[in-house]
Amino acid sequence: MNALSKTDAEGARVSMSCRRDDAAICFLGASQIFSDTVLRTVEAEISPAHSLRIGDIESFRRELGADGHFEGVGALCTLVADEAHAEALLELAEERAPLLDRVKLIIAFEDDRFGETLMDRFGARILARQISLLPMNLNLTTWLLSLRMIVSGGHYIPPALLRCRPAEPPGAERRGSMDPDEVAARSGLTPREAEVLGMLASGQPNKIIAGQLSLSEHTVKLHIHRIIGKLGVSNRTEAAIWYHRRGGA
């Protein structure tokens, strides 16, 4: 990750749990991935929450109290797990509900193929539990922006991974997902507008859409205005509903 820039996610509202002086953002995994520098940067940029690293799931279980607090640190508001602990986080989310229901859960990954496999195997659970997937190969500015958006109450999955078909529970009816060309064919949108719609429907704010597509925020707003007009809906929420009702990711 590259140079640091202090930025806020568009329209972000930090949850009460992460506004507290005793709030804690826990990184579950190896120091090679979640280095001391990463922890210090996160603590400086996502204030007032404290950052801590726990190396393995057994230690995490021991250290997190039944009330969701770490002794001497504070209340868990965000849990970020590395690739090695991805499945453990999914299991933990089910096992410790409702304790973790108000905690933002994130799986951080370095290999894009890992993210694809994760969505293919566990996509339905990831979407149902609002678990975010955060690439570690972003530049620091974009990475921090994405993390701040998640901590502030958002849900982030890279657009490319939303094209992976999520695994459904046994017996569930599976709906198809649409790629941008299919969205364009059904809606009369341009391919770029269809791509923006897919990201909008996954809950991405304009800043994230602009960064991912190398566009200005003004251009993204123009695309969204045209999308709303072409779909005959009133706002971006109705546009997202249109997308999901037609089999979007």
pLDDT at 165 over 80: no
Q: What is the mean pLDDT of the chain?
A: 80
Q: 16-162 falls under which CATH superfamily?
A: Response regulator (3.40.50.2300)
Q: Give 9 or 225, the one with higher predicted confidence.
A: 225
For the chain, give every domain's residue range.
16-162, 180-245
Res. 106: pLDDT tops 60: yes
DSSP characters over the chain? ---------TT----HHHHSTTEEEEEES-TTTS-HHHHHHHHHHSTT-EEEEE-SHHHHHHHB-TTSEETTTEEEEEEEE-GGGHHHHHHHHHHTTTTTTTSEEEEEES-HHHHHHHHHHHHHHHHHTT-EEEESSS-HHHHHHHHHHHHTT-----HHHHTSPPPPPTTPPPPP---HHHHHHHH---HHHHHHHHHHHTT--HHHHHHHHT--HHHHHHHHHHHHHHHT-SSHHHHHHHHHHTT--
pLDDT at 164 over 60: no
> Which CATH fold would you assign to the domain 180-245?
Arc Repressor Mutant, subunit A (1.10.10)
pLDDT, tens digit, 9 for 90 and up, residues 73-95: 888 999 999 999 999 998 888 88
Facing residues of 148 across strands?
none
**By the 8 A CB rule, do 124 and 166 touch?**
yes
Pick from 15-19, 126-130, 214-218, 244-248 the range whose average pLDDT is largest: 214-218
Residue type at position 226: R
pLDDT of amino acid 19:
66
Distance of CA 126 to the CA centre of its chain: 10
Average pLDDT value for residue range 170-176: 39
Q: What is the pLDDT of residue 220?
A: 93
pLDDT at 172: 40
109-151 residue pLDDT tens: 988 888 888 888 888 788 878 899 999 988 888 898 889 888 8
Model confidence, pTM: 0.62
- pLDDT tens digits, residue range 16-29? 356 677 789 999 99
